A and B are shown apart, each in its own frame.
Chain A
Amino acid sequence: MSPRIWNVKGLTKAAAVVALLMASGAAASAQQAYRFGLAMPLTGSQALYGQDQVKAAQWAVDEINKAGGVNGKKLEMIVLDTQADPQIGIQAVNRLISVEKVPAFITAWSGVVKAVAPIANDNKVVELSVGANSPDIAALGDYVYTTFPLADIDIRAVANYAATKMGKKKAAIVFINADTGTAAAEVYKKVFTAAGGQVVAYEAYDPKATDFTGQLLKVRAANPDMIHLQGLVSDTPQVIAQMRQLGLTQPVSSYSAAYNPKLVQQLGAAAEGVIATSLAPGAADSEKVKDYVARWVKEVGREPNGLPYTEYLYDAPYMIADIFKALDNKKLPPTGENFRKEMLAQGAFKLPLTGNTKLGADHTVVKPVYLMEVKGGKWTKKAVVGE
Chain B
Amino acid sequence: MLNATILLQILWTSLATSSYYVLFAVAFALVLKVTRIFNFAQAAIMTVAFYSAFVTVQWLEWPAWAAFVVMMAITLAASFALERIGFEALRKRGVSVMFVFVFTFMVSEFVAYLAMLAFGTWPQTIFPTIFWPVTLVGNIAISAWDLPAIGATIVMLALLFSFMRFTRMGQFMVGVADNPDLAELYGVNKRQIFLVTVLMAGALVAVGMFLYGTRAQVLPQTGLSLMLFAIAATIIGGIGNLAGAAIAAVILGVIQNSSILVIPSEWQGLLLYVFLFLAIVFFPNGLRMPRRRRRFATATRDIGDNQDVSAAEGQV
Contact = CB atoms under 8 A, between A and B. Distances in A.
Q: Do A and B come from one complex?
A: yes
Contacts of A234: 123, 217, 219
Interface in A107-165: none
Nearest to A48: B122
A298 to B, nearest CB: 20
Contact of A214 (B215, B221, B261): B261
Interface residues of A, number: 40
B258 A207 contact: no
Interface string A178-209: 00000000000000000000000001111111
B265 to A, nearest CB: 4
Contacts of A244: 131
Nearest to B3: A221
A210 B215 contact: yes
A235 B123 CA distance: 9
A217 B116 CA distance: 35
B9 A268 contact: no
Nearest to A83: B121
Interface in B15-64: 17
Contact of B217 (A218, A222, A237, A247): A237
Given A213-B257, A214-B257, A266-B130, A245 B141 contact: yes
B290 interface: no
A203 B6 CA distance: 16
B266 A48 contact: no
A177 interface: yes
Contacts of A94: none
A215 interface: yes
B310 interface: no
B138 interface: no
A268 B121 CA distance: 23
A238 interface: yes
B246 to A, nearest CB: 18
14 contacts: A177-B265, A204-B266, A210-B215, A213-B14, A213-B257, A214-B258, A218-B261, A218-B265, A221-B6, A246-B134, A247-B134, A265-B128, A267-B131, A269-B131
Judged by DSSP, the binding face of B is mixed
Given A214-B10, A238-B216, A246-B9, A209 B122 contact: no
A46 to B, nearest CB: 7
Chain A to chain B: the 7 pairs with minimum beta-carbon distance, closest first = A206-B269, A214-B260, A48-B122, A213-B13, A47-B121, A234-B123, A210-B216
B151 interface: no
A246 B135 CA distance: 10
Given A221-B1, A234-B219, 13 more contacts: A43-B116, A43-B121, A47-B116, A207-B269, A211-B13, A214-B261, A215-B260, A217-B9, A233-B123, A238-B130, A265-B128, A266-B128, A268-B129
A125 B116 CA distance: 33
A222 B264 CA distance: 16
A326 interface: no
A245 B131 CA distance: 8
A241 B123 contact: no
Contacts of B130: 237-238, 241, 266-267
Contacts of B261: 214, 218
A8 to B, nearest CB: 14
B269 A213 contact: no
Given A245-B143, A305-B122, A211 B17 contact: yes
B263 to A, nearest CB: 10
B120 interface: yes
A244 to B, nearest CB: 7
Contacts of A207: 269
Given A48-B120, A211-B14, A265 B129 contact: yes
A217 B120 CA distance: 34
B131 A205 contact: no
- Max chain A CB contacts within 10 Å: which of B212, B265, B266, B268? B265
Contact of A268 (B125, B131, B212): B131
A48 B9 contact: no
A381 B132 CA distance: 28
B131 A270 contact: yes
Given A213-B10, A245-B134, A208 B269 contact: yes
- Max chain B CB contacts within 10 Å: which of A44, A210, A238? A210
A246 B225 CA distance: 26
A45 interface: yes
A177 B269 contact: yes
A215 B265 CA distance: 7
Contact of A266 (B6, B131, B212): B131
Given A45-B121, A204-B265, A234-B123, A213 B9 contact: yes
A204 to B, nearest CB: 4
Nearest to A215: B265
Contacts of A246: 9, 134, 141
Contacts of B123: 45, 233-234
Contacts of B1: 218, 221-222
B227 to A, nearest CB: 12
Interface in B254-307: 257-261, 264-266, 268-269
B95 to A, nearest CB: 27
B273 to A, nearest CB: 11
B6 A44 contact: no
A384 B120 CA distance: 34
A205 B128 contact: no
B155 to A, nearest CB: 22
B41 to A, nearest CB: 21
A203 B14 contact: no
Contacts of A47: 116, 120-121
Contacts of B132: 241, 245
Contact of A208 (B3, B225, B257, B265): B225
A97 B134 CA distance: 55
B10 A205 contact: no
Nearest to B12: A213
A233 B3 CA distance: 33
